Amino acid sequence: MTTYNITMTKQTKTAKPRAVPQDRRKKVAGNSQAKGAVKKTAGAESPYHHGDLHGALLKAAEIVLERDGLSGLTLRAVAREAGVSHAAPTHHFGDLTGLVSELAAIGFRNFNATMTAAGASGTTPLESALARAKAYLAYARAQPGMYQLMFRTERLDMTRPNLREAANASFAGLASVVGAHHPGNVATDALTIEQAAQIARTWSLVHGFTMLTLDGRLTDILRRLPDGTDAEKLFVEMLKITVARAMETPK
């Protein structure tokens, strides 16, 4: 009996492991790799799957701007919103000024496109001018963060070609609201004092009214008006007086 036990022990120690089928080895290896990948990804940032990271960062910046305001618009906040590393916005825009300048350029382009489309709906110069001005107010009310960023020149780099071009196009659109006709490029060429006065007068009215609306400063005036009179109706009445007079002024 003793001999038998010794023999069995020796066999146990020297026995070769059973061969694992090839398909099972592949499965085990695959599971091990998958577990390793999960461990590696768990502590890292999720990868960015979009092809246009530059555009995605600008879209993320717009979301942050409208949600958190200009004070909440930081490179880290944008990276977090886009789901990328904190270094990504710096790589694409250099710094926060670069980012907000490119974002403002998008705002000006959309702003101008909105006014241009509205102006095309009018059948007379006055109707077109009024439609453009109403579109001005509507854009600002729909995207207050973007609108206010566009006019924060101390935060923008106006030497950037994209921003300069978009802002000039927007200025030309504004000039057309008051009928400041000009044979050349009103955005860059010299203006007469009369043309400049027309533009400044109407822009002061439109921009001033828009900011009062965004800041909620017209509540007291509106509550004194007949029922059904909202900010836009009051705006149109102001424009009818100002824009009509501007168009009657000799060029």
Span 75-129, pLDDT tens digits: 999 999 999 999 999 999 999 999 999 999 999 999 999 999 998 998 888 888 8
Q: Which CA distances in Å does 187 have to 2, 29, 113?
A: 108, 67, 16
- pLDDT of residue 146 exceeding 80, the answer is yes
pTM confidence score: 0.73
176 has a pLDDT exceeding 90:
no
CA nearest to 231, candidates 214, 249, 207, 251? 214
DSSP H/E element including 241 = helix 231-248
Residue 55, pLDDT above cutoff 90: yes
3-state helix, strand and coil shares in percent for the chain, rounded to the nearest 5: 70, 0, 30
Dihedral sign, Cα of residue 173, residue 175, residue 177, residue 181: negative
Mean pLDDT, range 229-240, rounded to an integer: 89
Q: What is the dihedral of CA 75, 78, 84, 88, to 10 degrees?
A: -40
With pLDDT > 90 as the criterion, what percentage of the chain qualifies? Answer: 51
pLDDT score for 122:
86
Encoded tokens for 4: 């038998």
Query: Contact at 8 Å (CB) between 155 and 149?
Result: yes
